Structure 1
Amino acid sequence: MWWVLAMSAAAHLLFVACVQALPSGNGSEGNLPAKNADGYTDITVEQLASMLEDKDFALINVHIPYEGEIRETDRFIPFDEIADHLDELPDKDSRIVLYCRSGPMSTTAAKELASLGYTNVYELDGGMIAWSAAGYELLMR
């Protein structure tokens, strides 16, 4: 009998540990992480791939020069000109995902948009290099 109680207790502890380890998100975005201190959210390749299955956001390549693209990219806006192209972006509360080749350019653009009041900005961690390394296709024009 003590063995059954011990196994039940162990199973309960394992369940609690697993639930606590799940990403909590910011409430409205499912399993996406919360915004960072700069006001935007870093996402993984796997999270972007999942988001693309039911796309409800603008996907923007901010890398210069052109070195490829992720499928369903909506716009190509140079990272250092993002503030000059606000008329090409959806409203400030719409979801916008930015990416570049490896991360620094999209990080710069994400910080800029967040500072301008955009509230749903996401940045692909590792950019196209991480996307390709995970086995996802990059398109070339």
Structure 2
Amino acid sequence: MMIRRLVFVMIFGVAVLGAVPGRVVAAEVGSRVPVPGGAFANVTAPALKKMLEKKDFFFANVHVPYEGEIAKTDAFIPFDQVEKQLHLLPTRKDAKIVLYCMSDRMSTIASETLVRLGYTNIWNLQGGMVEWRKQGYPLISGSGK
């Protein structure tokens, strides 16, 4: 009987926490991806959408060629030029930096590069702009940047 009550309380607690709007839960953030020098975190499109509501991070599009962007993007840095363009990034290596590209292939490479260079708070949009659009979120398009 006591175990049933405990299980009920635990399930109820999880349900209540999951219903709180605006929270980014661990399942939405995704997995930590270990790479030489440390790790970066994958983030889902719904979690990033919530994070952008109270943006507290540097947000960079690393896709080449330019094929659009997500609103509130701070910089456009080609994935294969990240190491040469560190001056565009926050100077603190513990600053939260979220990277994205079209599919997440280029942003994964850029994330690995930044971790190798000592950055410790790197996030990667899982599925990139393709997944962002699939979730029904808008992209800003342009003739190029």
Interval containing the TM-score (normalised by the shorter chain): 0.7 to 0.9
Cα distance in 2 for residues equivalent to 1:15 and 1:135: 35
2:14 matches 1:13:
no
Unaligned runs of 5+ in 1: 24-28
- Give the aligned CA root-mean-square deviation in angstroms: 2.3
Deviations 1:35-88 (A, max 9, x none): 321211100001111110111111100000111100000000000110001011
Deviations 1:102-126 (A, max 9, x none): 0100000000000000011000000
Classify 1:42/1:15 alpha carbon distance in 2 versus 1 (closer, same or farther; 3 Å).
farther
Equivalence map 1:27-66=2 (5 Å): 31=26, 32=29, 35-38=32-35, 39-66=39-66
Paired residue for 1:104? 105
Question: Which of these two proteins has the greater Rg computed from alpha carbons?
Answer: 1
CA displacement at 1:9 relative to structure 2: 4.3
Partner-residue secondary structure (3-state), 2:98: strand
Number of aligned residue pairs: give it: 128
Q: Report the TM-score, using the length of structure 1 for normalisation.
A: 0.81
Classify 1:85/1:137 alpha carbon distance in 2 versus 1 (closer, same or farther; 3 Å).
same
% identical aligned pairs: 43
Equivalence map 1:60-139=2 (5 Å): 60-90=60-90, 91-139=92-140
CA displacement at 1:10 relative to structure 2: 3.6
Unaligned runs of 5+ in 2: 19-23
Cα distance in 2 for residues equivalent to 1:56 and 1:140: 24
